[in-house]
Structure 1
Amino acid sequence: MAEAITNAAEAQRALASLFETHEHTVFFGGAGVSTASGIPDFRSVDGLYHQQFDYPPETMLSHSFFVSHKPDFYNFYRKKMIALDAKPNRAHTKLAELEAAGKLDAVVTQNIDGLHQIAGSKNVFELHGSVHRNVCQRCGKTYDAKWIMAREHEDAQGVPICPLCRGEIKPDVVLYEEPLDDNVVNGAVDAIAHADMLIIGGTSLVVYPAAGLTRFFNGEKLVIINRDPTPQDHNADLLISCDIAAAFDF
């Protein structure tokens, strides 16, 4: 297993050099990419899974809970999943710059915050969807996160209702018990399979099936950037364990 780099300046130099010598790079990221933007991750000490709620977060983020406890689901969704004030950090903006310069083919993300697109990334595969798309299940009209937070169109229990057809609104977010979107998965797999460098960042690599997509990488260089060890560290050519936003500040 590669020895981990813990110094941000050293990480910056290593990443800059790798981007100069590889033509088809894909970035695969998770919640740790957005923590520097003020969005908590799930499994760290301060993550959502260690906070106290009326129900476990894993339960509230399930399809069955959405169906049976819509008011509780939307209360949690508004308070903990939507972060309208969050801004892209240096990891987001650098990845967008690298794509614009032709040095990054795609971003594959497990995040639902939309910060990669806000930063300027174009080719983004959102494995778990986005809070910025909330879809009427009757007529198909899509509403953004600001509309959800405005709470202008909701029933007496706080559940958003489509003003056009009175249909039920569901976030375009993949909940537990729901499958990933085939088109998104196929696009992500194709990008990873054609990459000569895969950078995995800010993810524990324990959430499946998303984490399983990395097995399609057959390229030259595998880089893992994460604060804590992952199950795939032994496969990495380069390990970086410093802050990911600092690592990309080059």
Structure 2
Amino acid sequence: MKDVIFGIHTILNILKTNPLLVKKIFILNSKKISNKIKELFFYIKKYNVLLYKVDKKWLDKKTNNSIHQGIMGIIDIIKPFNEKDINHLIKKFKKPLILILDHITDPHNLGACIRSAVAAKVNMIILPKNRSAKINATVKKISCGTSENIPIIFVKNLIKVINLLKIYKIYVIGGDNKKKNIIFNYKLDYPICLIMGSEDKGISPIIKKNCDELFAIPMFNNVNSLNISVATGIFLFEIMRQNYFIHKKLK
């Protein structure tokens, strides 16, 4: 199966990390030659990717009038992970950092969360099938192609998954700014599962009850919430800071 991606950063990232996935690239025939375009041509030549020059009308149609930045690619779809893979991945990573996203229905927010997760060395992302945006071209563009670099698993029942994680003694924490427990004041050792919910609804009440602990980010000047991707990044990088910068040197 094939998929459509667009945007210079998205395509460049996939060419650098998973070049064999990229089958064809279409570029605007009037595209100016910038440093990024020169870098793109370098990888296209290096991996012998088929290149086609097209007009803007063609690109607009193929990307449903999205912000394509004058470039579109056709890639192979990696076989998706499923619930049965969770056990294997936990054993593979031994002390994993897992991210569960609950009620993230905006593809831009999901894409930004995925990008932060990959940067913070998250080992897998888990989402509910019925309360989540899907991994589409917009998500891939906003994530700058990093969605191809991490297992993303959609599940029917988050509670069932959380109970499984606890069997493996994975510490399950959630973000909740109504709590007084400030995340910076607590020791957070791997393995950890972080659960984050949307800005408006937050984590589902039943999910909160199944967390081992709920933490908040301190905020001032009457600001009571952050964009979900920003909040997720703060939580993830605090967890990474404690496990890499405090317990051992970052390599």
TM-score by length of 2: 0.29
* Structure with max Cα Rg: 2
Which of 1 and 2 has higher RCO (CA within 8 Å, sep 6+)? Answer: 1
